[in-house]
Amino acid sequence: MIKKGINASPGIAIAKAIVYVKKELDIVRRQIDDVAAECARFDEAVAQSREQLSALQAKTARELGEEEAAIFEAHAMFLDDPEFVGAIKTSIESEQRNAEAITQQIVDQFYAMFDAMDDPYFKGRAADIRDVGNRVLHNLMGIDIMDISNLSEDTIIIAEDLAPSDTAIMDKAHVKGFATDIGSRTSHSAIMARGLEIPAILGLGDITATAQDGDTVIVDGSAGVIVVNPTAGELAMYRDKQRAYEVYMAELAQLKDQKAVTTDGHEVILSGNIGNPKDVEGVNHNGGMGVGLYRSEFLYMDADTMPSEEKQFAAYKTVVEDFRDREGVIIRTLDIGGDKKLPYLPLEEEMNPFLGLRAVRLCFAKEDLFRTQLRAILRASAFGKTRVMFPMIGNVSEVRQAKALVKACMAELDREGVAYDRDLEIGIMVEIPSAALTADIIAKEVDFFSIGTNDLCQYTLAVDRMNQTVSYLYDPLHPAILRLVKNVIEASHKLPDKFTGMCGEMAGDPSATLILLGLGLDEFSMSASSIPQVKKIVRSVSFEEAKAIADEALTMETGDEIRAMIEAKMAALGIQIL
């Protein structure tokens, strides 16, 4: 069976499928007659859970380190806690109810208790108790836990969608590709796939219903095609394509140490987007000159409690030191809200969270949290070129408010005698149309812009990029988007020593490279795996040719017209993209 979807990350993967579907547990309350047998059944489920957690802890420590493995040790501690385990067994005896119902009941009670606490550490335990309880319940009910953190063989994940929390824990050594029912090129599963340099196809509609565990699956992320249970002929054909792609990537790898300079000498900076220090390897491997977007929220999302100033400082410092002699690192401050949530930072439900308390707005509301992060970033800046960037800025007043907090943190560090870069550059992500339209005003207050096209497209075109039914309207080459990008770049270039970068997925889209180059974009920051292709395009054209292409694109009326024109221009220039 062959299905066509959205080509979210290039390459070809061939492996067995795992259908990753999270099912709600149907827990029924019932009376029991044999209390001793029920308690013994519960003890067995606890022992099984303890063994699973021990295996996960050992594997995680071996592959990622002791710090990352500590979460599983914390989970196991609940299984040794006489108050938690004892409360369940006592209630089984006193209420004479089945272990599943009592376990759910006590877990809910403990969750509510921890979640109501003011201390962030104890509040963070609420998510832990929920996870532990869920594991025990699965074992009580004899239901296999869909665990993608500890795989035994190469796998392609088939899912409705993959949340950031899923991709954070998955076994990255064995997951060779994704295929999902929903999503777009800008969804988190697509971004993660490109970061891991593995093929991904999204928006397949019903792949979770048509593929089964153990099916042989081919994911052609370049063409957006998935083949389930291929014939011998199809398998042979795609193995040939896989080898051809590997040859193509080997040719691109030869550009690793070459600059991104046009045929007439115009140079741009190609940087990588990262979520944690481990991602630096991919940027270096692909010839990135710096980090144009350090998504600091992943440091929070990978933790079970609010990361301390010391933990953040250590993570930022590691990356900053790596790029000390190159273009440096742009750290985006915490961008939580919308589709990204923290279990230990409860927020009120909102009618439209993408337009609500998120990103810098949340940081203003949680000033202590914000100050902790700003202090960590400032301290890291003493070890190499560091820039700080504020997301979700809508007006110049917010820029001034954020800068005032930076100055306050600088004053604190001065009093403490702590070193930092006194010339730290401050910028904003341009992802709200109001910021793009008033870029000339905001430019006076910042050192740089970085255009976040994922949200800029969403907000400008009134398209929920995660909504499959309207995703066809999401188009980074829409004339409105190109005009906003042009306005931002020109606003920065009218003032001395200002620059504009782009860290949205458009920066790594080969169909947009010639236009962005011609518009005068200074820095392209993207998933590391996209750097070689973009570099090849930049080195294949003159700046004057790119400017003419951009000018022509700005006269066109639809994204489809622009895309067709780009394809023709690339063909004429002999630029081939696989």
Q: What's the Cα-to-Cα distance from 206 to each of 180, 187, 213, 287, rounded to whole Å?
A: 8, 17, 15, 38
Nearest residue to 544 (alpha-carbon basis) of 164, 344, 264, 247: 264
295 among annotated binding-site residues: yes
Q: Is 443 exposed, middle or buried (0-12, 13-18, 19+ CB in 10 A)?
A: buried
**Sign of the dihedral defined by the CA atoms of residues 135, 139, 143, 149, in that order:** positive
| Neighbour tally for 263: CB within 10 Å | 13
CB contact set of 538 (below 8 Å; sequence gap of 6+): 260, 261, 262, 268, 270, 513, 517
Residue 276, annotated as binding a ligand: no
User: Does 465 appear as a known binding residue?
Assistant: yes
Contact (CB, 8 A) for 176 and 157: no
188 is catalytic: yes
3-state secondary structure of 152: coil
273 is in an annotated binding site: no
Task: For residues 309 and 418, give the distance between their C-alpha atoms in angstroms, rounded to a whole number.
Answer: 13
Can you tell me whether residue 551 is helix, strand or coil? helix
Q: Is 67 assigned to a binding site?
A: no
* Residue 521 to residue 361: CA distance in whole angstroms: 28
Close Cβ partners of 445 (under 8 Å, ≥ 6 residues apart): 396, 399, 400, 403
DSSP 237-289: HHHHHHHHHHHHHHHHHTTTTS--B-TTS-B-EEEEEESSGGGHHHHHHTT--
Rounded alpha-carbon distances, angstroms, from residue 201 to 13, 369, 460: 11, 37, 25
Catalytic one among 363, 409, 457, 503? 503
Q: Choose the catalytic residue: 188, 363, 409, 457.
A: 188
Handedness of CA 132, 133, 139, 143 (dihedral sign): negative
Q: Point out the residues that are catalytic.
A: 188, 503
Binding residues for phosphoenolpyruvate: 295, 332, 454-455, 465
Binding-site residue positions: 295, 332, 431, 454-455, 465
